[in-house]
Amino acid sequence: MKSITSKGIAIRFVFALLLVLLSYNPSTFSYYHWLLSSISEPTPWLALSAVALIIGWVIYVRATLKSLGPVGLTLAALLVAIIIWALIDIGLISISEPSAFVWLLE
């Protein structure tokens, strides 16, 4: 079994971040916005991108479920939600600005 390195963690983090940001982000440069703008005329590039994103999501979701399990995943989600709640409570995050809040949720 290979050992975990900081380089391996960084690579996984970068790919996960790219997967999320390419799927949807508030800057309107995402698959979601591309799909909405060209829904009337689908292209093979749109379909190819959809399949590539689905493959990426399946890989990451399966790896997450395998490593954390349902209980660990629930606890991790709760931890993130409570941290966001605390940041809102102390005023570091404003929910009145939806774009900033969406960036944080991603």
Interval 39-94: pLDDT, tens:
888 899 999 999 999 999 999 999 989 999 999 999 999 999 999 899 889 988 87
Asked if 94 contacts 100 with a C-beta cutoff of 8 angstroms, the reply is yes
Domain coordinates of the chain in residue numbers? 6-105
At 74-83, the pLDDT tens digits run 999 999 999 9
Closest CA to 106 of 79, 80, 82: 80
Q: Residue 49 corresponds to which tokens in the numbers above?
A: 């991108």
Rounded to an integer, what distance in angstroms lies between the CA atom of residue 37 and that of residue 66? 36
State if pTM tops 0.85. no
